Amino acid sequence: MDIIIASNNQGKVEEIKKFYKKLNMNFLSLKKFPHLPKIDEKFNTYESNAIEKARNISGITSMITLADDSGLEIDALEGKPGVHSARFGGENISDKERNQLILNLLKDVPEPLRTAKFICVIAIVKPDGETYTIKGVCEGIITKEPKGNSGFGYDPIFSLPKYNMTFAEMDKDLKNRISHRGKALREAKKILLALIRKK
């Protein structure tokens, strides 16, 4: 069974493919479909953005499509960057620059108040329009400096006190087990397996 991952974020695509490597499914990234239009994340909720991406791509390709929208919500910044996480600080800055911007905004905030959470909502849409959504949440704190070399996005500045590591310091298996996306993907797996059985 072919399934489109509605993302141009290669780090995210690889994370999803690795998570589902044992499933009898062929996951395709948007790079395989250069003719598809760019879907703007114009809504104010993760769920609406994920559904919009999946519905649009599935509607054009007539294929099952999996999309996610995720973000980092920092309590000291009143929930920012939130749904705007991927573009926070501007479209054309690097992950490293975006992380530094967050650290600069929090420079006077003590550790007990640096609480944050990652949220991921996954939408799975079938060609007939049937839609499923799943949410995963992971709570942690924002570090004082970037740590670790793996992962992507905000991973180097998001730490889980229980493990005393950032996502960027973890191996992929551990991250996939405990992260917001890992939790959502685990629940989404049940839906994907049910779709296989129906075929």
Structural domain boundaries of the chain? Answer: 2-198
User: What pLDDT does 167 receive?
Assistant: 96
Q: How far apart are CA 41 and CA 61, in angstroms?
A: 19
Identify the pLDDT of residue 22: 87
pLDDT reading at 18 higher than 90: no
> Model confidence over 33-80: pLDDT tens digits?
888 888 777 889 999 999 999 999 999 999 999 999 999 999 999 999
* pLDDT tens-digit series, residues 156-181: 999 999 999 999 999 988 998 999 99
The answer to whether the CB of 170 falls within 8 A of the CB of 150 is yes
H helices present in 77-155, as ranges:
95-105
Write out pLDDT tens, residues 79-133.
Answer: 999 999 988 999 899 999 999 999 999 999 999 999 999 999 999 999 999 999 9
Tell me the pairing of strands 26-29 and 64-74.
unpaired
Q: Which residues are catalytic?
A: 69
The yes-or-no verdict on residue 1 having pLDDT over 90 is no
Torsion of CA 104, 108, 112, 115, to 10 degrees: -30
C-alpha to C-alpha distance for 33 and 182, rounded to whole angstroms: 26
pTM over 0.85: yes
Query: Which pLDDT belongs to residue 166?
Result: 97
Position 199 scores a pLDDT of: 64
What CA–CA distances, in Å, run from 135 to 30, 89, 139, 156? 22, 26, 13, 22
In words, the CATH class of domain 2-198 is alpha beta
Binding residues: 7-12, 40, 69-70, 152-155, 175, 180-181
* Number of other CB atoms surrounding residue 79 within 10 Å: 14
190 pLDDT band (50/70/90 cuts)? very high
- Reply yes or no on whether the pLDDT at 23 is more than 90: no
Q: How many Å apart are CA 158 and CA 145, to the nearest integer?
A: 10
